[in-house]
Structure 1
């Protein structure tokens, strides 16, 4: 296994002094170390999506001539295809950078269904993008990395090509920092409170990560079935627009989007589309802990944004805040009885159960149950 401090120090000796990206659980040790060493500032910026990270890294290179590092889960490769092929590629501006990619869904290693296809094509995608890569596994040594970087990667970077380290599960030694905020309400209790205020005809589109897992477990606990819920276990940032598509075509049902702050930020333009559409039956709930909690807890920039003003300016009919359980219980009836689109911003802490399970139904089963419920 690789010690992340030693890894970063070696990169630093080779002029790598700027880091940006979107956190990933497989890279959590590295991301935690970078935050611990650099904080969030001019040398380390957590981007809202991976494409933005590439553009930001490009600006850094153009300004300094030094190689930036962009970290991301392999699911984020989709978000970098456009800037890599139309901005940084040697056939365009030839802007070199180092990618650090967490390899979820690696063939032969058990993972969640949303990672399987992406895992199968990760190396193929890098090859298609002309990004040379080295896979880091549990058996890779720092000397192996140094040899690859010196002999293979540096000549590529000097010629304007990007390179990538692809990180397998367990390749990095553990490095963890504690993360918390001052909010009293857990997301799980907030989800349960909202669900208890809905009726049997209300539909839910829930975002990726622990939000969908907590919703699934509460339905199991209540023996309610899962037909009312579409668990968007992948495709981060797209749940709200998916919910809009459902709401438009089912105007007699209330459609609730259970969203996260990292997901909202990743594709924030969705708020403008939702606001402009004025869909009366769409209810957007943001479980907001200002953190990428499902992949390690590094901060988002949501605390720097007045999301209520943003939603209202985008055309939402009304927006609400709830900072604790008492406020949530008071606001929910008003929120549910408003005409959509409306936003409810619920401030939650960075806590979840260690024994939190995962959905036991397959995505296809979830889709079929959801569509059957919609048709009734």
Structure 2
């Protein structure tokens, strides 16, 4: 189904969400049609954030908002759905559009398998009536579903469209880019070179995939790395847990701007604990690149100032290899909680692979390494 037809059936004026590769057609359409526009389209930090934003839109306008997300974000919406939107509380209606990663019967990455199995079950438990949109769904069928959904929305309840793989299409192209000169894989190569045999915790998406392939190319063991293939936004908290319990290890966290924003409350917690063996590096390309390249707000933020305000002992931003290498060497032996923002371009190799080891193997190898 063309995304234009899907949007016409929904007949809503305001969209907010967190980008998803399964919803790339919708995301690109919204960026082409509205860009980032507070009246029509806002990309939020996390899915709970956009659910609350949608509630505010309804309170101010009386209209029904659309909240889009990957199904991995369902966990983030449970609290605002149950204690804010629910018809036994404020009865605020919303239309959720959810990309179905890990759909049963469709091959996907390990972090999506269980989430895929429980996607519709979670919606049912939250009393959100839902319909799965497939490649075979017609506009007529969707209109019939929407007619029934509109009756539900009028009672103050929410509804959801669960989008199967390739169910939505969009013919227009959108190019996402910035003026930064460094690419992320090159940045991670330099981090690997300096970190030596120190443990690295890497964030969700292409950063972990690139780290894995760099180890392969260097013929190095993967035991040094914990690849946070799911659980977006939590790599710095994982790194904190490792750092405080392995004070003899220098721990490196390779984070992304979208992930950092998703659960930014972790930064003041890290700063308050203030482990002197943790180095937190954020590769900032101002984009949700792994799921398509839609923008984050990180390009307009001073992350160094934020890190210092959160209690990081040392914080700096770099935008070239010379400064990156200098700062990596400096923080390696500094013995303080350190933060490095590295400005990065948008893009990755077309032939970028995925980890060939299982998540369990990654965990066990990493734990054995930490115990050595």
User: Which band: TM-score by shorter chain?
Assistant: over 0.9
Residue 213 of structure 1 is matched in structure 2 by 209
Q: Is the 8 A contact 2:87 2:157 kept in 1?
A: yes
The alignment status of 1:346 with 2:345, answered yes or no, reads: no
Residue 27 of structure 2 is matched in structure 1 by 31
Residue 270 of structure 2 is matched in structure 1 by 274
Residue 99 of structure 2 is matched in structure 1 by 102
The alignment status of 1:76 with 2:73, answered yes or no, reads: yes
The alignment status of 1:173 with 2:166, answered yes or no, reads: no
Q: CA deviation at 1:372?
A: 0.5
TM superposition score normalised by structure 1:
0.97
Q: CA deviation at 1:47?
A: 0.3
Q: Output the CA distance in 2 between the equivalents of 1:269 and 1:238.
A: 10
Q: Output the CA distance in 1 between the equivalents of 2:15 and 2:169.
A: 19
Residue 236 of structure 2 is matched in structure 1 by 240
Per-residue deviation, residues 259-311 of structure 1 (Å, max 9, x unmatched):
00000000001000000001010000001101000000000000121100000
Residue 111 of structure 2 is matched in structure 1 by 114
| CA RMSD in angstroms, aligned pairs only | 0.8
Residue 90 of structure 1 is matched in structure 2 by 87
The alignment status of 1:186 with 2:188, answered yes or no, reads: no
Q: CA deviation at 1:329?
A: 1.8
Partner SS state of residue 156, structure 1: helix
Q: Output the CA distance in 2 between the equivalents of 1:191 and 1:167.
A: 34
Q: Map residues 138-153 of structure 1 onto 2, 5 A cutoff.
A: 138-150=135-147, 152-153=148-149
Residue 122 of structure 2 is matched in structure 1 by 125
Residue 9 of structure 1 is matched in structure 2 by 8
Residue 160 of structure 1 is matched in structure 2 by 156
3-12 vs 363-372, which deviates more? 3-12
Per-residue deviation, residues 44-81 of structure 1 (Å, max 9, x unmatched):
11000000000000000000000000000000000000
Q: Output the CA distance in 1 between the equivalents of 2:362 and 2:88.
A: 43
Q: Map residues 42-57 of structure 1 onto 2, 5 A cutoff.
A: 42=38, 43-57=40-54
320-329 vs 108-117, which deviates more? 320-329
* Aligned structure 1 segments of 4 or more residues deviating by more than 6 angstroms: none
Q: Output the CA distance in 2 between the equivalents of 1:342 and 1:335.
A: 7
Q: Is the 8 A contact 1:256 1:285 kept in 2?
A: yes
Q: Is the 8 A contact 2:9 2:146 kept in 1?
A: no
Q: CA deviation at 1:10?
A: 3.0
TM superposition score normalised by structure 2:
0.98
Residue 283 of structure 1 is matched in structure 2 by 279
Q: Map residues 227-266 of structure 1 onto 2, 5 A cutoff.
A: 227-266=223-262
Q: Is the 8 A contact 1:335 1:344 kept in 2?
A: no
Q: CA deviation at 1:21?
A: 0.6
Partner SS state of residue 197, structure 1: helix
Q: CA deviation at 1:173?
A: 1.2
Q: Is the 8 A contact 1:317 1:339 kept in 2?
A: no
Unaligned runs of 5+ in 2: none
Q: Is the 8 A contact 2:199 2:249 kept in 1?
A: yes
The alignment status of 1:62 with 2:23, answered yes or no, reads: no
Q: CA deviation at 1:337?
A: 2.3
141-150 vs 207-216, which deviates more? 141-150
Partner SS state of residue 16, structure 2: strand
Per-residue deviation, residues 20-50 of structure 1 (Å, max 9, x unmatched):
0100000011011011101102111100000
Count of aligned positions: 370
Q: CA deviation at 1:170?
A: 0.8
Which of 211, 224, 227 is residue 220 of structure 2 equivalent to? 224
Q: Is the 8 A contact 1:320 1:335 kept in 2?
A: no
Partner SS state of residue 284, structure 1: strand
Q: CA deviation at 1:320?
A: 1.3
Residue 312 of structure 2 is matched in structure 1 by 316
